[in-house]
Amino acid sequence: MSLSYRQPGVVLTDRRFTVPLDHENPSGETIELYAREAVASEKAHQDLPWLVYLQGGPGFGANRFVGRPAWLGRALKDYRVLLLDQRGTGASTPANRQTLPLRGGPAEQADYLTRFRADSIVRDCEAIRPAVTGGAPWTVLGQSFGGFCTVAYLSLAPEGLDTALITGGLPSLDAHADDVYRAAFPRIERKVVAHYARYPQDVERARRIADHLLTHDVVLPNGYRLTVEAFQSLGILLGGSEGSHRLHFLLEDAFVRTPRGHELSDAFQEEAQNLLSYAGHPLYALVHEAIYGQDARPTDWSAERVRAEFPRFDAAKTLAGDEPLLFTGESIHPWMFDCDPALRPLRETAELLAARTDWTPLYDRARLAVNEVPVAAAVYHDDMYVDTAHALTTARAIRGLRTWVTDEFEHDGVRAGGPRVLDRLLSLARDEA
């Protein structure tokens, strides 16, 4: 039975669905999907078209909004919205260190997780769409990895879509993970250089913290081992609209004087562990590189291998000289499964996923070339998470897709920009702009 309740300006309904774990075997094992339906209070009894929101990630559940913030308020003017927890995330049969042992050992866990990529998410959407819309096609809004899923949707089941809206999420159709990261590290360096230009005092602060971590064994209160590589990975903040400022505030009071000398403060350690821990989204670490697997080549810890091609990111070499420390960004590394207590039990599972050679294509170039679904995509200029050149190449491969290329926002523009980003995409998709 569905449960409805109210928040300011919105009526919410919890929805649960049962879908096959493997859509190629519909009579086999099933999993549960959770979604939250949202409708404007004043339109609760109206017959409205549907918009399904696909969150970024992979591995994150849908936003837990209160009221009608960000893009949601704009969407609720026209739609009923389904905030879907993609399989394995949020309340949708979670996949984490606590639940995955139910599958068996690492080999069984790795096999299970191969079904948590964009193609399975699209088939989940198609499985539940008749129950939600009565069979009518719906609009999809895909943010970041949700945009990857949207391109897969256009490839696999365009008949299910009325309109496709993508924000910061046009994937390369054929790049290997190595290609993705070779394009990523120069972008990340640009973001770090821009951060230091804004906050030059952070150059010495970051070097001091890194030097401390190279000479001290620091374990955060939650058991996370804070290495210098882990500290550098806080650069993931630099891809968001407020990220540079958040990183600055984290660095400005990192040390406190104690009877044993200067140590990293409790406040710094608390904030760092909240930013670094994958306890709330372990799938992000487990299948992140798998979202780029489309052929017989293993991903094989691509970000770690490619990082070695960019020696300026080596902290020890940097500290031996006088260069600014470079932070890293959206990348997963094997050492994370040693540092993070939420990931340690899954190290062997992650190794098996990195070694797999049976990945299948996620996108269909031929079908995209004859696309008839109205599509609009926001491409954020010099997006730290998704390469702009890759995104624009894909945009040209999808028939009828209209792009909005802007440097007004970072990767999180659909959140930070309030209703403006969604309003612009809807205008483009409807040929009103």
Share of the chain above pLDDT 70, in %: 100
Question: Quick count: other Cβ atoms within 10 Å of Cβ 107?
Answer: 12
Torsion of the alpha carbons at 346, 350, 352 and 356, rounded to the nearest 10: 150
Q: Cβ neighbours of residue 284 under 8 Å, at least 6 residues apart?
A: 57, 58, 59, 60, 278, 332
> Mean pLDDT, to the nearest integer, of 120-142?
98
Cβ-contact 53, 82 below 8 angstroms: yes
Query: What dihedral angle (degrees, nearest 10) is formed by the CA atoms of 274, 277, 280, 281?
Result: 130
Coil, strand, or helix at residue 301?
coil
Known catalytic residue: 41?
no
The rounded distance, in Å, linking the Cα atoms of 363 and 222 is 40
Mean pLDDT of the residues in the chain: 97
**358 annotated active-site:** yes
- In order of their start, the domains of the chain are 3-174+363-429 (3.40.50.1820), 177-355 (no CATH)
What mean pLDDT is predicted for residues 12-24? 97
Active-site position among 144, 172, 233, 302: 144
Residue where the block lists tokens 């992979």: 58
Is pLDDT of 2 > 80? no
CB-CB contact of 325 with 315 (8 Å): yes
Tokens, residue 6: 């109210």
pLDDT at 137 over 90: yes
- Tens digits of residue pLDDT in 362-406: 999 999 999 999 999 999 999 999 999 999 999 999 999 999 999
pLDDT tens-digit series, residues 206-265: 999 999 999 999 999 999 999 999 999 999 999 999 999 999 999 999 999 999 999 999
Q: How far is CA 316 from the centre of its chain?
A: 30
Based on the residue annotation, tell me whether 411 is a catalytic residue of this protein: yes
Confidence band for 1, pLDDT divided at 50, 70 and 90: low
The three-state secondary structure class of 237 is: helix
Show Cβ contacts of residue 368 under 8 Å, excluding neighbours closer than 6 positions.
Answer: 151, 154, 155, 173, 397, 398, 399
Dihedral sign, Cα of residue 235, residue 241, residue 244, residue 247: negative
Two tokens, residue 347: 């190290």
> Which ranges constitute the DSSP H helices of 311-387?
315-320, 336-339, 347-355, 365-369
**pLDDT value of position 329:** 87
The Cα 169–Cα 286 span in angstroms is 20
Instruction: Indicate the helix (H) or strand (E) that contains 179.
Output: helix 177-198
